[in-house]
Amino acid sequence: MVMQILHDPGSLEVLSNFLARSYDSKQWYELKNAAERLSLSRGFDRLVSLDALDIELYEHQREAVLRVLRDMRGRALLADEVGLGKTIEAGVILREYMLRGLVRSVLILVPASLLSQWHLELTEKVRVCVPVGRTPASFEKQQVIASLDTAKRPENAAVIHARRWDMVIVDEAHRLKNKRTVNWKFVNAIEKKYLLLLTATPVQNDLSELYNLITLLQPGQLKTYSQFKQEFMLDKHSPKNLSRLRELLSQVMVRRGRREVFIHFPRREVRSMAVPLSGEERSFYVTMVDHLRRAYRAQPANKRNLLPFLLLLRETCSHPAAAGATLQAMRRARGQKLLPEAALVELLELSHGIQPAKLRLTMDVVAGLRQEKAIIFTEFKATQEALAAACQRAGVSAVMYHGGLDGRAKQAAIEEFRCSSQVLISTEAGGEGHNLQFCQTLINYDLPWNPMRLEQRIGRIHRLGQQRPVLVVNVVIEGTIEAYMLYLLERKIGMFTKVIGELDIILANLKAPYERVIAEIALDSRDEPEMRERIEAFGRELTEACHTYERVRRLNAQIFDAESQTLELEA
Amino acid sequence: MISDRDQQEQVRRFVLAFLGACGAQTDGRRIRLPRVLARQLQVDEQLELSFVPTASGEAECITYGHPLLDRMIALSIRRGATASLLCVRALDPEFLHLVFQDDPFSTAETDNRQFAWLKRTLRRVSFSKSQPRVVDRSLSYHVQLLFGFRVALISDETRERLMFILMDPLTESADSPVDITEAISFVPVTDGSTGPETSFAGDAEPLETLMSRANEEFPTHAYATLRLYRKACQILEDRLQKELREFKAEVDRRLKEDLERIETYYAGLAQEALDPLRRMFRQMAASSVRVQLARSFESETRHTKQLHLLRQRAQALEADYKEEAEQLRTEMVRRRNELTAKYQTRAEVRLISCAAVRVPRLTFTLRFGDPAFRPVTLVYDVLRARLVDHICEACEQPLSAARFCECGDLVCSDCFQSCADCGRDLCQSCASSSCHVCGHLLCSDCGKTCSWAAMRSSSSVAVCTSCHHEICSLCLRLVCGIDEW
């Protein structure tokens, strides 16, 4: 016998029913056979998952997925340049394997900052619901998504290494560049059938990083390190025998540059508008910042909890009503309070009846759109309600969208926006997974302190498939921390001109998380000049991070992209 | 490979048939589902469906892999595993009328295709010089079992297909497939027989294990069905062999390539791990030479000390090497296991459906004018347009064209001969002898005895008249020297 032929015991169930003469009608008999036929898996001749998904793969993505399935047999380094859709490629590959019954257990390792984004994209785009893994018990499930840092904790790693995984996906795989690190050893020790590594920059500093990644994927593909050095390295940074190296890499790596895939992104216009604080607003803002700074500094340096301060500061920049709601809650709360009672009372009094200048400016922007549809993003429910009331007063049809709505209500809100309303006022939950490309204007009423969220907001309308130019309006109040933040994002990172996906790589080059640094600057600075100075210093760090990213991007293009090298040589 | 268009057409037909079976009301693209079905499919009772991906409007486009289609497939798969079918619609009423009223052996032309085919088939049976007369004809339904299998070839990719095997309980062999699209459901009166109460679950197992389990669990009256199922599985396995061989060869090629790569890589690493030790041995050799060539006691002592130190370091390096080599070996085994698991091949077979198919058969009883011929029964399979159970009574091979021999046996052309002397119709079994020279059959009344053989032994050896004249006379003249016996 060529190979073992096994028979499913379920067959006896059918025979048993047949013997019991519990016959079904011919109609159902034929339907069953037709259903079985439709659910057959026939190798990798076509992508069967695409028909059911609300995504349109670009030709380069389709090719990449088929190459990984057919030629690379599920072990590949997806190294497309930023913004070309590696995540979606990995998602489709996973779905294809799952549909064919070849993958049941999957472990997805991503940076903590991308965890929710991955979870969302898998659920809504690829329709694979992967729970987030945090505890050892959660890693016993069939499908888990977790941050690499969580997964490699000894208690979790023990569970992960004790079992077999059908597929492992690692995003931002350049973090596995060093063979001696815990990260590399952790992933190497996982028993897996298929492995997908995702990174736009396989080489960060030197060629050994590329060797380590490929060896993790396919040991022996580039032979031993000494042989690799001898054959392909002039020195740490310069490759030789490039054509042979590329040939070997092409067997396990998919990489396309932006020049190679002619994707048309519509123009993105960014207008940032600053409005001065009104008298009562200024008094509320200054008092709030003053109290927060005092309370923050009063905490022991090693036990400072930044989050509640951050929340109040963000709310103050958004709308006094949003901050007012939190202050009320703080007053009602028992136990130790963030601010003294007197300060809470004072701030609550000051917050009453303020008509923010930002709101007036936003309504002017909406009026200037001349019935064009717009999405207004805010982070807070109270601000959302204030915006809705302002729209109503101005006779602008608006619909609210927030995380408190159930699935049907969310769908209905999007439909209403599509069909009749001019404005969609949305919190962060806004339109995730929905097709909002019929709208071309986005107003950031308040800026999220995490730039990744800002990128996600823009990505809602400025994405592959958008046909018309997109307008992004940022509304900030002069002199507030929000204005400084906009300054950093716009001038130092150049965020609004970057391709979606680049920001995360740049921010990963920072010493501390962006959000935390900004909050510390706001709360820890003694006065305005000190704050300005610290903002400038942070700006320099951001610029340096951008340069580092640019250098790495060029190095990768030089090694992997034949076209770019030719262009550089010609230059 | 199925084209996207064909697949979409399959999807369309399936969805419409499913909705029809579930009692949904369809009005163009708009569909109204019964409440229970809507709940099962997790959709509203009012639906608008389309099957063209580019169709505009609000209609939900159902394509392969759509969750709604998946739910329909899941619901359909849960039912319809067994059926009892009656292929009654295959019978044209006019054909039946002709069968029962007309003479199927007459040479008159007929416009009815089925009847014309029947006549042509019957005409291929030659009854020598006797004209048959149909004395009885009847229509009956013969039960055959149609087993539907889902076969999966599994390795680092999965290839699945459906295979259907129609088993004939009388011959216990696979019969050619019949078109059951025109069949109707037919539920016979139950005889109270039941299957086992046990639930069958667990991992897939070899056929023999499965069947021994079935023999234990199933009641005795199930024996015939189980036996037939086993035969069907054996036929299926035989039919699969070629495909399995090709699939395995492909997988083995990939596995071999990967294993070679892994082994070369780890062999290279092991060699590299030896490098420090090699360098140390070279240093030791040099040091040892220095000891031998030392001109003074001091330099000899110094070099000996150095050599001793190098020996100690070499021992440490050797221990390191052993540890590293062990690690490499463990890692290589793990990688090999990973690959072996990835490329492990197996075929899994699952019985998805089993149907009793009742195929119509016409039975004709024939009598002949010659009283020597016994009555003959011919059974005609209407769907397959062929005579069944029709084997040569001499050699027992399937009979495509048959003839009656003198003694009344129906034999094939190969077994049929005429008597070499008188020309009477004979078969191998009713011939009394055959010519010793040319091998032709001879009836009991004919044939001559070989003179020369008769002289040498007591038993008579037959020869036909022709051979007797041509050969035996010559033989007598040459061997015995006589002109006539």
Give the tens place of pLDDT for each residue, B409-455: 777 877 777 887 887 777 777 777 888 778 888 887 777 777 666 66
Categorize the per-residue pLDDT at B485 as very low, low, confident or very high, splitting at 50, 70 and 90: very low
Position B366 scores a pLDDT of 85
Position B34 scores a pLDDT of 92
Most confident of A95-99, A336-340, A554-558, B65-69: A95-99
Closest Cα partner for A401 from A387, A392, A393? A387
**Candidate from B237, B248, B350 with C-beta closest to A10:** B350
Fill in the DSSP letter of residue B65. T
Residues of A in contact with B348 (CB under 8 A): 5-8
Between A38 and A502, the more confident residue is A38
Are the beta carbons of B210 and A42 separated by less than 8 Å? no
Pick left, alpha or beta for residue A371 (phi over 0 → left; psi -120 to 50 → alpha; otherwise beta).
Answer: left
**Candidate from A3, A7, A32 with C-beta closest to B207:** A7
Position A30 scores a pLDDT of 93
Asked if A524 and A476 touch (Cβ cutoff 8 Å), the reply is: no
The β-bridge partners of B433 are B442
Between A131 and B375, the more confident residue is A131
**Candidate from B76, B183, B205 with C-beta closest to A6:** B205
**Which residues of B, range 125-154, sit inside 8 Å of A by Cβ?**
148, 150, 152
Residues of A in contact with B195 (CB under 8 A): 15-20
Residue of B nearest to A17 (CA): B195
Chain A nearest C-alpha distance from B157 (Å): 6
Position B197 scores a pLDDT of 65
Position B217 scores a pLDDT of 84
Query: Is B143's pLDDT higher than 50?
Result: yes
Residue range B388-422, pLDDT digits in tens? 877 787 787 777 666 777 676 777 877 777 887 88
Categorize the per-residue pLDDT at A549 as very low, low, confident or very high, splitting at 50, 70 and 90: confident
**CA–CA distance, A327 with A65 (Å, rounded to integer):** 52
Q: What mean pLDDT is reported for chain A?
A: 85
**Which residues of B, range 163-202, sit inside 8 Å of A by Cβ?**
180, 183-185, 187-188, 190, 193-196, 198-202
Residues of B in contact with A18 (CB under 8 A): 81-82, 195, 225, 354, 356
Tokens of A27: 């109609």
What are the extents of the domains in chain B? Answer: 4-78, 84-122+137-247+347-355, 250-346, 411-484
Q: Which of B15, B22, B64, B210 to probe by mutation at the A interface, max A CB count within 10 Å?
A: B64
Position B109 scores a pLDDT of 83
Position A531 scores a pLDDT of 87
Lowest-pLDDT choice from A49-53, A189-193, A374-378, B330-334: A49-53
Chain B nearest C-alpha distance from A149 (Å): 24
Residues of B in contact with A3 (CB under 8 A): 244, 247-248, 345-347
Chain B nearest C-alpha distance from A70 (Å): 9
Distances (CA, A) of A154 to A136, A149, A150, A192: 9, 10, 9, 19
Are the beta carbons of A17 and B77 separated by less than 8 Å? no
Q: Which H or E run includes A215?
A: helix A207-217
Categorize the per-residue pLDDT at A143 as very low, low, confident or very high, splitting at 50, 70 and 90: very high
How big, in percent rounded to 5, are the helix, strand and coil portions of chain B?
45, 25, 35
Residue range A147-180, pLDDT digits in tens? 999 999 999 999 999 999 999 999 989 889 899 9
Are the beta carbons of A20 and B80 separated by less than 8 Å? no
**Candidate from A3, A11, A32 with C-beta closest to B79:** A32
Are the beta carbons of B206 and A101 separated by less than 8 Å? no
**Which residues of A, range 2-61, sit inside 8 Å of B by Cβ?**
2-46, 48-53
Asked if A461 and A430 touch (Cβ cutoff 8 Å), the reply is: no
**Candidate from B67, B82, B346 with C-beta closest to A4:** B346
Are the beta carbons of A21 and B193 separated by less than 8 Å? yes
Categorize the per-residue pLDDT at A52 as very low, low, confident or very high, splitting at 50, 70 and 90: low
**Candidate from A1, A194, A221 with C-beta closest to B261:** A221
Residue of A nearest to B22 (CA): A28
**Candidate from B64, B200, B268 with C-beta closest to A12:** B200
**Which residues of A, range 112-131, sit inside 8 Å of B by Cβ?**
127
Residues of A in contact with B157 (CB under 8 A): 43-44, 100, 102
**CA–CA distance, A31 with B21 (Å, rounded to integer):** 9
The ipTM, to two decimals, is 0.79
Mean pLDDT of A254-266: 74
**CA–CA distance, B450 with A49 (Å, rounded to integer):** 84
Lowest-pLDDT choice from A25-34, A76-85, A286-295: A76-85
Q: What secondary structure does DSSP assign to A414-456, as a single string?
A: HHHHHHT-SEEEE-TTTTTTS--TT--EEEESS--SSHHHHHH
Categorize the per-residue pLDDT at A433 as very low, low, confident or very high, splitting at 50, 70 and 90: low
Categorize the per-residue pLDDT at A569 as very low, low, confident or very high, splitting at 50, 70 and 90: very low
Q: What are phi and psi of A164, to 5 degrees?
A: -100, 135
Are the beta carbons of B17 and A27 separated by less than 8 Å? yes
Mark A549-566 as b/e (b = at least 16 C-beta within 10 Å).
beebbebbbbbbbeebee
Interstrand relation of B30-32 and B46-50 (parallel, antiparallel or unpaired): antiparallel
Answer whether A362 touches B (CB < 8 Å): no
Residues of A in contact with B81 (CB under 8 A): 13-14, 17-18, 24, 29, 32
Residue range A225-235, pLDDT digits in tens? 999 999 998 88
**Which residues of B, range 197-236, sit inside 8 Å of A by Cβ?**
198-207, 210, 213-214, 217-219, 221-222, 225-226, 229, 233
If you count residue pairs, one on A and one on B, with CB atoms under 8 Å apart, how many are there? 286
Residue of B nearest to A54 (CA): B66
> Which amino acid is residue A428, in one-letter code?
E
Q: Which of A1, A7, A53 to probe by mutation at the B interface, max B CB count within 10 Å?
A: A7
**Candidate from B65, B81, B206 with C-beta closest to A6:** B206
Closest Cα partner for B85 from A26, A20, A14? A26
**Which residues of A, range 181-210, sit inside 8 Å of B by Cβ?**
191-194
Lowest-pLDDT choice from A248-257, B101-110, B265-274: B101-110
Closest Cα partner for A99 from A46, A136, A155? A46
**Which residues of B, range 324-353, sit inside 8 Å of A by Cβ?**
334-335, 337-338, 341-342, 345-353
Q: What secondary structure does DSSP assign to B264-308, as a single string?
A: HHHHHHHHHHHHHHHHHHHHHHHHHHHHHH--SHHHHHHHHHHHH
**CA–CA distance, A551 with A472 (Å, rounded to integer):** 29
The CA angle A522-A526-A530, to the nearest 5 degrees, is 75
Answer whether A162 touches B (CB < 8 Å): no
Residue range B187-233, pLDDT digits in tens? 776 666 665 666 677 778 888 888 888 888 888 888 899 999 999 99
Fill in the DSSP letter of residue B434. E
Q: Which of A27, A31, A195 to probe by mutation at the B interface, max B CB count within 10 Å?
A: A31
**CA–CA distance, A290 with A570 (Å, rounded to integer):** 58
pTM of the complete model: 0.68
Between A558 and B56, the more confident residue is A558
Answer whether A62 touches B (CB < 8 Å): no
Interstrand relation of B448-449 and B462-463 (parallel, antiparallel or unpaired): antiparallel
Percent over 90 (pLDDT), chain B: 36
Residues of B in contact with A191 (CB under 8 A): 334, 337-338
